[in-house]
Structure formats: C-alpha cells, structure tokens
Structure 1
Amino acid sequence: MILYAELSDTDLVVLLKQADHAAFTEIYKRYALLFFHKVNKMLKDEDSSKDIIQELFIRLWNNPEKLQENGNLSGYLYVSVRNLVLQLIRKGKVMNDYLNSIAGFVEEVNMDTLNELDERELTRILQEEIEKLPAKMKQVFEMSRNQYLSHAEIAAQLGISDQTVKKQVNNALKILRSKVSAYAPAGWMIIELLKK
C-alpha cells in the first residue's frame, strides 16, 4: 500500500499524470489551505478565495500534462493562483483597494517563480493602460516611445512647447507605473524599459 503522505511532490506529480485520485488528494491536502490563506489575505473575501482555490485544483486535475515531473509543484501552483487572482481583478470582481495587498503577495515569490512570470501578460496589461490615457497624453507618449521622436520633434509637430511634451510623457509614465507595478515586480522593468 502506498503511503501518499510520505511521497515527494515529484512522485505525486507522476501519479497525478496517471489520474491517481489519491495523489491529487494529497496535493490538495498539502497546498489548498496554504494558498487559500494567501489569497484570502489579499482579497479579504472568503467566498472569492474559495472559488479561486477550487478553480486552481480543477485545472490541476484536468490539465496534469502542464506539470513537469521534475519541476517545482509549489512554484507552478503559486503562478497559477496568481494568474487566477489577476483574472478576477481584470473582470472587475475585486476592488482596486486590494491591489497593494496583491503586490505584496507577488513580492513574496522566490526567484525561481519570478522567472515564470508571464511578461507577455504584463505587456498586454501595459498596452491596455496606455489605451486608457487621455487622448493628447497618449498621442505624445506613443510618438515618444513608438516613433522614437525627441521632445523637440513632437513639440514641433503638435505645435506645443518642449516643456508640455516633457510633462505629458512624465505624467504618462507616472500613471503607467502606478497601474502596472500593482500586478508584479516585473511591471517595473517594463516601465523602466519604456523610459529609455
């Protein structure tokens, strides 16, 4: 008889890929409560937190092929639960007041997990926030970052002063930094790249 509680995460993943219910149950016992507390600390909403944990484990059972047998199970679950929280936020089901809590949650992650952050997702979020900028600010920002025009060139094309251009670009960066930094530390890197 297999003593599942004594198995390593790697062994449990191998069994889970064989649709072993007991292995799944053991993974649930090890991680569900831990991640529930982390999510509930951020959301301060037990029902939403329970829903996220339920969705996390449904996806784990339905998609075991996404797990690497020699990979970091806790890191995989961490990134998955983080993405589920971000999806909930994007759907508008969580108040913006909790973004700072979420930022703190993301900062708890170790370097291995940070490597798994989806920079494409952050870039998409950033582009959405650029689209929300006031029209003139967006135009100046995109001329600066996409067309690589200098402040003087933008000012000449739009018939405004260099100082106005500089102020618009700085204000855009301030807005984008505040929006993107709440999602993940990697958001800061994207903003820093944009500043160049």
Structure 2
Amino acid sequence: MSGYGKYDDKELILFLKEGDQAAFTEIYNRYWASMYSHVYKMLRSQEESKDLLQDMFSSLWLKAADIDEQTKLSGYLYLSARNRVFNLIQRNKVKNDYLASVAQFISEAGTETMERLDEKDLINAIESEIQNLPPKMREIFELSRKANLTHKEIAEKLNISDQTVRKQVQNALRILKPKVQAIQVGVAFLLFLR
C-alpha cells in the first residue's frame, strides 16, 4: 500500500477508476489535510468541515468511474469542496430564512391568534380522523358525540341494539384515542417552538 506514494495523480485516477482501494487511500492521505484547511477557512466549523470532506471523499469513491483520466485531481477536489461548501451555506441560509420568517410570524401574531389557530387546527385534524372511520361507526359516533343522543336513542333511530351502539362507540374511541393523542403531541410541539 505504501508503494502508491510514487504514483502521480493521473496514475492514481486510473487505479481509482478500476476500484483500487489503495489508490483511493493514497488520494485521501495526499489531499485530506489541504482540503480540510481549504474548507475550514470557509466554514469555520471543525464538525461541518469534517462531515463535508467525508461526504466529498465518499462521492469520489462512488463516482470514480465518471472521472476523466485527464482531470487534474487537486483542481477537481478543490472545486468539489468549494461547491459543497456553497451548497451547505445555501441550505443553511434557506433554513435560517425559514426559521426567521416563522419566528417573525409568531411574534407578530398575538397569542390569542395562535391559540385560535392551534384550536382550529386541532379540531380540523380530529374531524378528519372521524371522517376516516368506517361509515356506520362514524354515523353512530357522530350521533353520540355531536347530536348528544343516548345509546338507546341511537339504537331506536338506526333500528339496531343498544349493545351494538355501545360497541361501535367504544371501537370508535379505541381508534381515535391514539390518533388524537398524536395530534395533541404535535400541537404541543408547535407550542413549544414558540
């Protein structure tokens, strides 16, 4: 493996294109420190710089077959690193712009407005889950909870037994309860982000 140090970049590219791991290791050892220095100057973050280089060298290995043999390896790596840095900066900018706009909306919208939105969203989400119930179960559940009919009244109205009504309401609640809890967790999370 140590014998690869004698090869120039063009030869290493040829070996790399053939899937030679030792050639890849030599390229990595030859260029990692200079690439790290280059990337770190732009990002000023050790962790992000190391992650970016890991990704870049992994891509070099995976896309080795596509590299032109006449490519100047150092230029290829510098260009790849620079483009990845720009992409990372752009992604972070978009994320930060989004978070800033959400923060601005929350600060501009009164607490009362946010609570109404949360309550409205919660009601809509629960209603959506009710609509997903099987038709007969949904009808019985809505008569019980929205029309406030007793089990006996529902049974008479639909010409079914009290026991069937009771069982359908229990089943509906069993289906809806975990979904409503998940919705509440989501709303609580959004409230936490305020």
TM range (shorter): 0.3 to 0.5
Q: Which has the larger radius of gyration?
A: 2
